[in-house]
Amino acid sequence: MIPVHEAWHAILAHAGSTETVRLPLGKALGRILRTAARADADSPPFDVSAMDGYALRRADITQALRVTGTAQAGAAFTGPLRPGECIRILTGAPVPAGADCIVKQEDITREGDSIRVRRPDGPDYIRRRGENRRRGDIVVPAGTRLGPPELAALASAGIHQPEVARTPRCAHLVTGNELVAPDQTPIGAQIRDSNSTLIATLLARGGIELVAQVGLRDELAAGQAAAAALPAHDVLFISGGASVGDLDFARPLLEALGYTLHFHELNLRPGKPLVFASRGAQLAFVLPGNPVSHWVVFQLFLAPLLEHLQTGAAAAPARLTGRLAGGRLPPPDNRQTFWPCRAVIAGGGYEVTPLPLASSGDSSGLVGANALLPVPTPPGSLLSGQAVEFILCP
């Protein structure tokens, strides 16, 4: 058995990155920007008014001024601004040549075409050319995940097809003679398949493409036929068949497909029989069949791997600090334990409650899980109310 940190480094050693693609802004939400976006012009592109008011010379601010024109966003005032004159101006309009301040309309008394300034010591209320950014400045750095604010910034810089990381493509083979679909009633020794739903939704929540999901009987030939028919993919997940039982064919399947096995057993609970293999740039994992093990190894390895393929980030899941609430801790075990738990904000910090799982096959025991608690050996050293490290899961 290898430690968790060694397993992560072994995965990174064989993980590359997806290629760069260009996408329209409407389809780039959630993608990772590969090339830094730079401004194609100063912002603002000219001096603009920050207020609705009047543009004038500060030297004229104490005298009565004649209104000789109007400026608004998209329609600049182009005439000369002479001494003793002012221009009615709206927010976002270009400041007329010769004007050096804007007086907001609340500080003006107007009679017909004449105004007087009631507060001559106010600010200029001019947003200067380039004060937001200069042409060539980075608007959005490379490696940024593009949300609505970032996409709006790209749009303002004229970047309408940003270079982003292609989303990793994943394929999923689900093994088990005992499995039936969730809408079927199990008969005899059958059980409903929950791992297909678990993996599909974990991938969907991360914006990852699931190109195929196929259920299989525990037969090597069936696995080979299904794998041969899969669409192009970067990562292959196989649910179940990770151990060495008579019907556990996943490791022989990967070897028959030309994959090189790098590890097959971790010092981990739950999730000990995790298999990792590679074939060129393609990666493959055999996940232990129990759904709790699926969830744990996905959070520890697969979620950060899928992030790495897009960003190049090599960090394992970050650990936060919270306070241990009640809840039942698992019994002692020599393996490194990461226990599903619920983390909530309470009293200005996180409060972490271990979930009362009956076993790693108890999918309903994961209800409410959003974090993993690394449990020391022996777990009796953890006491309610003490500070603990935990991993917040996406």
Q: Domains of the chain by range and CATH? A: 4-15+167-311 (3.40.980.10), 20-42+132-165 (3.90.105.10), 52-123 (2.170.190.11), 319-392 (2.40.340.10)
> 277 has which bridge partners?
261, 284
Report pLDDT for 358. Answer: 67
What is the residue-wise DSSP string for 125-185? -EE-TTSSB-TT-EEE-TT-B--HHHHHHHHHTT--S-EEEPPPEEEEEEE-TTEE-TTS-
Number of other CB atoms surrounding residue 214 within 10 Å: 17
Q: What φ, ψ does residue 201 adopt, rounded to 5°? A: -80, -35
Alpha-carbon gap, residue 63 to 121, rounded angstroms: 14
Report pLDDT for 352. Answer: 95
Report pLDDT for 309. Answer: 96
Query: What are the strands, taking DSSP E only, across 291-348?
Result: 319-324, 336-346
pLDDT tens digit at each of 394 positions of the chain: 899 999 999 999 999 999 999 999 999 999 999 999 999 999 999 999 999 999 999 999 999 999 999 999 999 999 889 999 999 999 999 999 999 999 999 999 999 999 999 999 999 999 999 999 999 999 999 999 999 999 999 999 999 999 999 999 999 999 988 999 999 999 999 999 999 999 999 999 999 999 999 999 888 999 999 999 999 999 999 998 776 655 678 999 999 999 999 999 999 999 999 999 999 999 999 999 899 999 999 999 999 999 999 999 888 889 999 999 977 777 778 889 999 999 999 988 999 999 988 677 778 889 999 999 998 876 566 788 889 999 999 7
Residue 246 contacts by C-beta under 8 Å, 6 or more apart in sequence? Answer: none
- Rg of the chain on CA atoms, in Å: 31
Report pLDDT for 382. Answer: 79
Report pLDDT for 246. Answer: 58
What residue type is 38 in one-letter code?
Answer: R
Q: Burial level of 85, CB count in 10 A (0-12/13-18/19+)? A: buried
Lookup: tokens for 213: 């999901």
What is the residue-wise DSSP string for 126-143? EE-TTSSB-TT-EEE-TT
Interhelix angle for 4-13 vs 303-311, to 10°?
A: 30
Report pLDDT for 380. Answer: 62
Instruction: Give me the residue label for tokens 């899941």.
Output: 317
Is residue 108 within 8 Å of residue 115, measured between CB atoms? yes
